Amino acid sequence: MNALVLSLLALAGYLIAYNTYAKYISRKLFNLSNENPMPSHELNDGIDFVPAKKHIIFGHHFTTIAGLGPIVGPAIGIIWGWLPAFIWVFLGSIFMGAVHDFTTLVISARNQGKTIGDLTGDIISPSTRYAFQFIMQFLLFIILTVFAMIVGLLFVMYPESVFPVWMQIPIAVWLGWEINKGKNDLVYSIIAVTLMYLSVIAGTYIPITLPPLFGSSITSWTLILFVYVYFASTIPVHKLLQPRDYINSHQLLVAMALLFIGLIVAHPVITAPAINPAAWESGTDIPGLMPMMFITIACGAISGFHSLASTGTTVKQVDKEKDTLFVGYGSMILESMLAILVLMTIAGGLGLGLEKDGVVYTGYEAFNQHYQSWSTASGLGAKLEAFVVGSSNLMSSYGMPAIIGKSIIAVFIVSFANTTLDSAARIQRLSLQEIFKSREGKVVKPFDNRYVTTFIVVLAALLMTFAKPAAEGALILWPLFGSLNQLLAALALGIVTVYLYQKGKNILYTFLPMVAVLFVTVWSMILNIVNFIENKEVLLFILSVIIMLLTLWLIISSVYSVFMKKNNLMNAE
């Protein structure tokens, strides 16, 4: 099987899905109309609620949801074989992930731009709002703490990425200034992206490192990142977040184009196994396919964080209701296409040459060398190495110098991780403010002040991150992330399902994905709880049980809400 052929088939499939299934459910479930008022106009405050052009908000939403997810997920998920990973990414995104992102975006747009947590209180019951908000806050807390450490680690791993990543800030501010003055955003964005890639080339010759703080350079970078994220998540969205994400969306398209050209020129044969025999043999440390693969590959197929992005920041910037299909559904399938490219880059590109301890491995031996066990492939460096090496091999096929190719991919990886970091902080601040709303709808003091609320969010994450040396405190909670993320996706689909039922719409389009994701996630969480008991992880065990109980509460409340409405209708008749 050829990696280029599979990539083209996936691309064609996504285009067909968008122009058939996506447009069908948008008409069937919502009948989108630009006559419907949007929160970005009704609640325009110049800070969080700011309307943006469709392609700009598409760029913001895509870079917010992507992060490292569609890279590291497939990069480790391929350990079970490229075929199950390919099927899950392709079908999961079309029928689950993109539906999840689009539907949560629309119902938030039709409810004053409220987050999915706040919507839970309106759609199901006021008490369930706090249950969902707790799960949201916990997931965002993990993301903020872990991604701060991860970006710091990436700066240490790829010092050549430091200069171009930080240069994105003044470039983005300049771009935002010009666009807000009414200048041609396409022309100026091209100039901005050109400046960014010039900084990438410069970065390869001026790698930047920091002296260690408390024995680690990761600590130094992490501390700086927390200071940055505080300011980045409090300033008006159109001054940094929108233009920076717009630049990063162009960076993504360039990176994907470079990989596609590499697939065309090298047209590598897939040397990774369709089904990895080692994953099925006894005595190996590789976990079973079910449910682990569906938790490991999240963002490329479906991710609960996306509903937080859709209803947290994105909905507050969408200009017209019909834009939600392109932004919500379109962003997800583009992210899924990125995940497919990552799979093909590793399945085919890694086999072009992998150097280990002075020995160059090719073909199946390259895959086997990297994925011979779970421990050799599951670290962050190992996850990224397979993608970086495979990408560099593809780019080298048409003459791209290896040092430049690796720098482009490194900057691409770090930029997307950094975007998720400050977007998560902004979403968590908005969610926390919703929790402290009074019955009159006003946020109680001091949480009505975005600077105070953001400080609380960032300080809590900072304290957790530095609970251990080298900013590794965040890793205490990391084992909960995968299952919690997918659980949130299932619960968000559940909220949408109840909403559609109340509106008299066909619920199968969201109900079936909800059941599937919920089944796999609960299975995974039960395995986690057993593992935490065996390893005497008391904190993780207690948190897991609390989350399971909150989930049960939300499910029971949802079912009760549906039956109450049904009984009311029958009594009315």
pLDDT tens digits along 322-368: 999 999 999 999 999 999 999 999 999 988 888 887 788 888 888 88
How far is Cα 368 from Cα 386, in angstroms, rounded to an integer? 12
Q: Report pLDDT for 244.
A: 83
Measured distance CA(218)–CA(432) in Å, rounded: 28
SS3 category, 76: helix
Tokens of 351: 């086999």
At 305 the three-state DSSP class reads helix
In the prediction, which pLDDT does 187 show?
84
Residue 282 confidence (pLDDT): 63
Give the phi and the psi of residue 286 in degrees, each rounded to 5: -75, 125
Q: How confident is the model at residue 125 (pLDDT cuts 50, 70, 90)?
A: confident
Query: In this predicted structure, what is the pLDDT of residue 181?
Result: 78
pLDDT of 102? 97
Q: What is the tens place of the pLDDT at every residue in 214-243? A: 888 989 999 999 999 999 888 888 888 778
Summarize the confidence of residues 314-321 as an average pLDDT: 93
Rounded distance between C-alpha atoms, residue 417 and residue 69, angstroms: 9
Kindly state the average pLDDT of the residues 181-210.
86
**Structure confidence at residue 72 as a pLDDT band (50, 70, 90):** confident
Q: Which band of pLDDT confidence, cut at 50, 70 and 90, is reported for residue 573?
A: very low
Please report, for residues 45, 297, 332, 468, the alpha-carbon distance to residue 70 in angstroms, rounded to integers and kept in the order given: 33, 8, 10, 28
Biggest distance spanned by C-alpha atoms of the chain: 79
pLDDT of residue 99: 96
The residue among 558 and 82 whose pLDDT is bigger is 82
DSSP state letter for 36: S
Q: What pLDDT was estimated at residue 572?
A: 43
Beta-carbon contacts of residue 97 (< 8 Å; ≥ 6 apart)? 300, 301, 302, 303, 306, 332, 336, 489
Rounded Cα–Cα distance for residues 85 and 170 (Å): 39
3-state secondary structure of 444: coil
Q: Convert the pLDDT of each residue in 378-420 to its tens digit.
A: 666 777 888 888 998 999 888 888 888 888 888 888 887 888 8
Q: What is the mean pLDDT of residues 298-326?
A: 91
CA-to-CA distance for 142 and 154, rounded, in angstroms? 18
Strand partners, 517: none
Question: What SS3 class is residue 181?
Answer: coil
Contact yes or no for 286/277 (Cβ under 8 A): no
72 or 311, which is more confident? 311
User: What is the dihedral sign for C-alpha 547, 549, 551, 553?
Assistant: negative
Closest by alpha carbon to 200, among 423, 422, 401? Answer: 401
Is the pLDDT reported for residue 40 higher than 60?
Answer: yes
| Average pLDDT score, the chain | 87
pLDDT band for position 565 (50/70/90)? low
More confident residue, 82 or 215: 82
pLDDT of residue 60 exceeding 50, the answer is yes
Task: Please tell me the predicted confidence (pLDDT) of residue 28.
Answer: 92
- pLDDT higher at 159 or 422: 159
> Which pLDDT score, from 0 to 100, does residue 521 have?
92
R_g (Cα) of the chain, nearest Å: 23
Q: Are the CB atoms for 339 and 520 separated by under 8 Å? A: no
Contact between residue 10 and residue 340 where contact means Cβ atoms under 8 Å apart: yes
Confidence of residue 569 (pLDDT cuts 50, 70, 90): very low
| Percent of the chain residues past pLDDT 70, beyond the cut | 97
Q: Are 509 and 492 in contact (CB under 8 A)?
A: no
Q: Is the pLDDT of residue 571 over 60?
A: no
45 φ, ψ (degrees, to nearest 5): -120, 0
Answer whether 163's CB lies under 8 Å from 413's CB. Answer: no
Please give the Cα distance from 150 to 474 (Å, whole number).
10
- Which residues face 354 on adjacent strands? 361
Q: Is the dihedral of CA 510, 515, 516, 517 positive or negative?
A: positive
The answer to whether residues 112 and 185 touch, using CB atoms and an 8 Å cutoff, is: no
pLDDT for res 453: 93
Of the candidates 491, 508, 500, the residue with the CA atom closest to the CA atom of residue 31 = 500
For the CA atoms of 295, 296, 301, 306, what is the dihedral angle to 10 degrees? 80
Residue 109 has pLDDT above 90, yes or no: yes
Identify the three-state secondary structure at position 361.
Answer: strand
> pLDDT at position 411, please?
86
Q: What is the DSSP string of 139-156?
A: HHHHHHHHHHHHHHHHHH
- In angstroms, what CA-CA distances link 251 with 79, 179, 369, 519? 28, 18, 31, 37
Contact 532, 541 (CB under 8 A): yes
Close Cβ partners of 435 (under 8 Å, ≥ 6 residues apart): 117, 130, 133, 137
Give CA separation, 172 vs 58, 138, 188, in Å: 16, 30, 10
In this prediction, residue 283 carries a pLDDT of 63
Give residue 570's pLDDT band: very low, low, confident or very high (50, 70, 90). Answer: very low
Residue 295: other Cβ atoms inside 10 A: 25
Q: Is the dihedral of CA 334, 338, 343, 344 positive or negative?
A: positive
Q: Where are the beta strands (DSSP E) in 352-489?
A: 354-356, 359-361
Q: Give the chain's domains with CATH numbers.
A: 3-475 (1.20.1740)
- What's the pLDDT tens digit per position in 449-494? 989 999 999 999 999 888 887 777 777 887 788 888 899 999 999 9
* Coarse DSSP helix, strand, coil percentages of the chain, rounded to the nearest 5 percent: 75, 0, 20
Work out the average pLDDT over 142-164.
Answer: 88
pLDDT at 518 over 90: yes
What is the structure's pLDDT at 178?
A: 83
Q: Residue 542 — φ and ψ, nearest 5°?
A: -65, -45
Q: How many angstroms separate the CA atoms of 172 and 194, rounded? A: 12
Q: How many Cβ atoms from other residues are within 10 Å of residue 121's Cβ?
A: 19
- pLDDT over 90 at 519, yes or no: yes
